[in-house]
Amino acid sequence: MKLFLFRAAVFVLGAVTGAALAGITIGDQVDRLHIENQLLQDRLAVAEKELQQMRQQKQVQKRVVSKISTRVSFAEECDFSEYERSFIELTVEKIVREWLKVIAGQEIDSINYILVPRIVDNREIEIEGKKIKLKVELVVIAENLVVYLEIIPQKNKL
């Protein structure tokens, strides 16, 4: 009987010790999972705040024309020297920028896309005694408005 009680006591003591060790192990896992859960909740809160800020910036930030530039090409019948071509390019860019300055600062969505090329297309100007005609090939409307032009020489009418 003593042997039975001893074995029963050892068994009960082993069961209690095993239960205590299992409780400690499970408690450690629960603590780690709780800390990881808190960390993930914090990251989620930060990500939600960033997303909300990005949405607000998207609503506030509007695309506006901030720069106007030209790309000039010359028709085949042009017999201008390199100096004349570069001078004409600079002058045309300056004149076109002046004509289109009313568009600078406008929201891209509010610009009348049909009227922009018509401001410049088929206009005749005189540069250093040479008459040229501007033909619009393409207009790219973005933050940087780009007008692609072809220069066509005109005969001087005296």
The domain segmentation of the chain, as residue ranges, is: 1-61, 67-153
pLDDT 10s digits, 62-98: 788 888 888 999 988 888 888 888 888 889 988 998 8
Give me the pLDDT at residue 155, please: 78
Give me the pLDDT at residue 21, please: 93
Give me the pLDDT at residue 156, please: 62
Q: Which residues contact 146 (CB under 8 A, 6 or more apart)?
A: 69, 70, 71, 139, 140
Distance CA(158)–CA(141), nearest Å, equals: 39
Give me the pLDDT at residue 158, please: 43
Strands 130-140 and 144-153, bridge-based pairing = antiparallel
158 and 150 in contact (C-beta within 8 Å)?
Answer: no
Give me the pLDDT at residue 52, please: 86
* DSSP structural state of residue 100: T
The pair of structure tokens assigned to 108 is: 């891209």
Return the exposure string of 29-52: e unless at least 16 CB atoms fall within 10 Å of the residue's CB, then b: eeeeeeeeeeeeeeeeeeeeeeee
Q: Strand order of the sheet with strand 123-127?
A: 67-74, 144-153, 130-140, 123-127
Q: Which residues contact 111 (CB under 8 A, 6 or more apart)?
A: 65, 103, 141
In this prediction the pTM is 0.60
Task: Split the chain (158 residues) into runs of 10 and give each run's mean pLDDT.
Answer: 87 92 91 87 86 76 83 87 85 90 85 88 88 92 91 74
> If DSSP codes are grouped into helix, strand and coil, which group holds residue 102?
coil
Distance CA(145)–CA(66), nearest Å, equals: 8
